[in-house]
């Protein structure tokens, strides 16, 4: 585990260097617990396929892709509603990244996107945190997650969608604090 800590510290340092080089400065320079969790789970589980919804600046994308680089395997498929999302992701990590812009609040475009995948290792929700959209993502994506796979959601405290989903399906979950919000994890 010490080697993973050393690796993640190097990834954090690289991330902070990348932030400093950007012409647009961001309000936060802190690396979230979620980004580090995604790095660790990617390194440990060595997934072939991760789906990420909601990219924003690309902090989570960066840490997932950095872990995939260390694993020398895996592909990240990310969605956002902004064309300029993911600006922090450097070119050298983009060979494992497929970024798709979805129509804003389009149930149809999200379902079409997810239906391209049969065996998702890790699904990470970090897009619209409304009850309706979270419920849509959990219900749609969970059917595509393979046994032993993981559903991860940021901001499960923004609505009751995550708790309603786990209660309805009688599942156990884990949660953790993530910079002012709570992250949730379900193992399938």
* Confidence (pLDDT) at 28: 56
pTM exceeding the 0.85 threshold for the entire prediction: yes
Distance between CA 112 and CA 184 in Å, rounded?
25
Joined tokens for residue 62 = 């960066």
- Write down the pLDDT at residue 35: 93
Candidate CATH numbers 3.40.630.30, 3.40.50.150, 3.40.50.300, 3.90.1150.10; the one for domain 2-187: 3.40.50.150
20-23-24 Cα angle (round to 5)? 95
Give the whole-angstrom CA distance, residue 90 versus residue 133: 29
Q: pLDDT digits over 9-44, tens only? A: 999 888 888 887 776 655 555 788 999 999 999 999
Please give the average per-residue pLDDT across 120-133, as a whole number. 96
In the chain, domain spans = 2-187
pLDDT the model gives residue 177: 87
- Of 120, 169, 174, whose CA–CA distance to 149 is shortest? 120
């Amino acid at each position: 585990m010490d080697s993973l800590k050393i690796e993640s510290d190097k990834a954090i340092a690289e991330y902070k260097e990348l932030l400093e080089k950007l012409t647009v400065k961001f309000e936060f320079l802190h690396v979230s617990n979620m980004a580090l969790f995604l790095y660790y789970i990617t390194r440990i589980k060595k997934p072939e396929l991760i789906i990420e919804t909601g990219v924003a600046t690309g902090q989570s994308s960066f840490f997932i892709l950095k872990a995939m680089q260390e694993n020398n395997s895996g592909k990240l498929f990310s969605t956002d509603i902004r064309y300029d999302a993911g600006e922090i992701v450097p070119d050298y990590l983009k060979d494992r990244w497929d970024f798709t812009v979805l129509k804003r609040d389009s149930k149809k475009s999200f379902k079409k996107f997810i239906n391209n995948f049969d065996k998702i290792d890790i699904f990470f929700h970090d897009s619209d945190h409304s009850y309706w959209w979270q419920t849509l993502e959990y219900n749609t994506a969970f059917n595509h997650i393979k046994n032993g796979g993981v559903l991860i959601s940021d901001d499960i405290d923004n609505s009751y969608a995550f708790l309603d989903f786990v209660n309805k399906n009688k599942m156990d979950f884990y949660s953790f604090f993530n910079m002012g919000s709570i992250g949730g994890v379900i193992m399938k």
